[in-house]
């Protein structure tokens, strides 16, 4: 069977830098941080009191009261972004064969807010006061299911859960779904809303988070020698993928083509990446092989770049190993330097950032990179500010707890 080409025709985003693609693009171009003191819950007694909370997302204005009662925040975010992506793509849902349209949503944790609130109800008011909707709201598959219900899509609808690679993993799975003729259109992305005292305390005690409470905008410092951990965030990103000839026939504006991708597993440690970065490197190599793209064609790398000591050093090593002498000539930047780490949503939101960068011929900076770590030298981290550049092929890295590695190659059409 002929390998079908996969076009990306629409994007939707809700993240710490805005809930509209125009806001997101402006923030990326300006190099603005979305990290600030926590506002959504009491944090005065915690060692970390900063996070990247969503800006400009008004669920009450987008969903009715019944929908708000039936959905956890992570599902609301996915549904909002899915409908924004459909509108952006100008996709006529009524013209689709609904069985040929699928939904794939990634989430690392799912409806943790619902679990926490109903556990509190159980302890404080007794078992009779636990909501009968607890399980439907909390289950990780709720986002994909609710999106398919709201849009009337009857193809596969499922959740991908692979820690911090969940969103990128869902998008790569969706691309393969279209490539191999199983669906004509797929809405895919990632969503996460687990910014609360429980999750934050777990990461604090793991010693994984930055403690720069007095300097929120300077807290996330990927590849910087003075980095002291990642900044926790929340958000969602969804894109529309469709078969290329179909997209062209309807006159769609195409952001980019998914040329290829790959996944590997470190099989090493539940929290730490493999120290030599060989499996992250293998994911990059396999993604370019799948895309039939030589290393010399990659014009930008969007790094996983969390701001953790081990993660950044190992990713830099893996990039150098893959690209060799060519590595120093490829711009590399970390969107997390502005967004914080959105966990299971991070890869999807960062792919939206890549698509906006490709359409607008810009590479956003790596914010707060003032003193490069000697272990990360040899790469062009775009520290000085936003750079104008035509992007032909983009490599997106996404890594996660449990040793998950995902790499995607996006190409200009």
- C-alpha to C-alpha distance for 326 and 334, rounded to whole angstroms: 19
Distance CA 322, CA 410 (A): 17
Sign of the four-CA dihedral 316, 322, 325, 327: negative
Helix (H, G, I), strand (E, B) or coil at 55: coil
Q: What is the residue whose two structure tokens read 């590399």?
A: 332
Is residue 164 part of the annotated active site? The answer reads yes
d(CA 379, CA 317): 10
The Cα–Cα gap between 210 and 217 comes to: 11
- Rg (the chain; Cα; Å): 20
Question: Are 366 and 38 in contact, with CB atoms under 8 Å apart?
Answer: no
Q: What's the residue count for the chain?
A: 413
Cross-strand partners of 130: none
Q: How many CB atoms lie within 10 A of CB 389?
A: 15
| Exposed / middle / buried, residue 205 (Cβ in 10 Å: 0-12, 13-18, 19+) | exposed
Q: Is 334 helix (H, G, I), strand (E, B) or coil?
A: coil
Angle between helices 346-360 and 21-30 (to 10 degrees): 80
Catalytic option among 15, 81, 220, 341: 341
Rounded to the nearest 5 degrees, what angle is found at the Cα of 343, between the Cα atoms of 306 and 18?
90
What's the N-to-C CA distance of the chain in angstroms?
Answer: 23
- The catalytic residue among 15, 81, 164, 376 is 164
Total Cβ atoms within 10 A of residue 298: 24
Catalytic residue from among 304, 354, 376, 393: 304
> Annotated active-site positions, please?
164, 304, 341
């Amino acid at each position: 069977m002929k390998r079908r080409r996969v076009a990306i025709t629409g994007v939707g985003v809700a993240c710490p830098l805005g809930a509209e693609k125009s806001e997101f693009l402006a923030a990326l171009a300006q190099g603005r941080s979305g990290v600030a003191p926590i506002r959504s819950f009491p944090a005065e007694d915690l060692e970390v009191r900063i996070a990247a909370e969503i800006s400009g997302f008004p669920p009450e204005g987008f969903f009715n009261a019944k929908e708000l009662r039936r959905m956890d925040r992570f599902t609301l975010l996915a549904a909002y972004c899915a409908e924004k992506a459909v509108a952006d793509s100008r996709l006529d849902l009524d013209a689709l064969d609904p069985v040929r349209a699928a939904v794939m949503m990634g989430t690392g944790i799912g409806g943790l807010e619902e679990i926490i609130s109903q556990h509190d109800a159980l302890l404080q008011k007794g078992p009779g006061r636990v909501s009968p909707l607890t399980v439907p709201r909390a289950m990780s598959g709720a986002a994909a299911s609710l999106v398919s219900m709201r849009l009337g899509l009857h193809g596969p609808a499922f959740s991908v859960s692979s820690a911090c690679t969940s969103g990128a993993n869902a998008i790569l799975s969706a691309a393969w779904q279209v490539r191999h003729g199983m669906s004509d259109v797929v809405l895919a992305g990632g969503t996460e809303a687990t910014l609360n005292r429980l999750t934050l305390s777990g990461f604090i005690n793991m010693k994984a988070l930055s403690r720069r409470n007095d300097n929120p905008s300077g807290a996330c410092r990927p590849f910087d020698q003075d980095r002291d951990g990642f900044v926790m965030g929340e958000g969602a990103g969804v894109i529309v993928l469709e078969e290329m000839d179909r997209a062209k026939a309807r006159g769609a504006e195409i952001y980019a083509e998914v040329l290829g991708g790959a996944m590997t597993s470190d099989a090493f440690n539940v929290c730490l990446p493999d120290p030599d970065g060989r499996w992250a490197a293998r994911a990059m190599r396999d993604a370019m092989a799948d895309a039939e793209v030589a290393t010399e064609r990659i014009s930008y790398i969007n790094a996983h770049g969390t701001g953790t000591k081990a993660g950044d050093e190992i990713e830099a090593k893996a990039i150098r190993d893959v690209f060799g002498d060519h590595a120093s000539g490829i711009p590399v930047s970390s969107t997390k330097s502005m967004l914080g780490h959105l966990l299971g949503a991070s890869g999807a939101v960062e792919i939206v950032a890549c698509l906006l960068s490709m359409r607008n011929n810009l590479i956003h900076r790596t914010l707060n990179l003032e003193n490069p770590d000697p272990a990360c030298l040899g790469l062009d981290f775009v520290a000085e500010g936003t750079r104008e550049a035509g992007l032909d092929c983009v490599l997106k890295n996404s890594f996660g707890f449990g040793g998950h590695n995902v790499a995607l190659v996006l190409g200009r059409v």
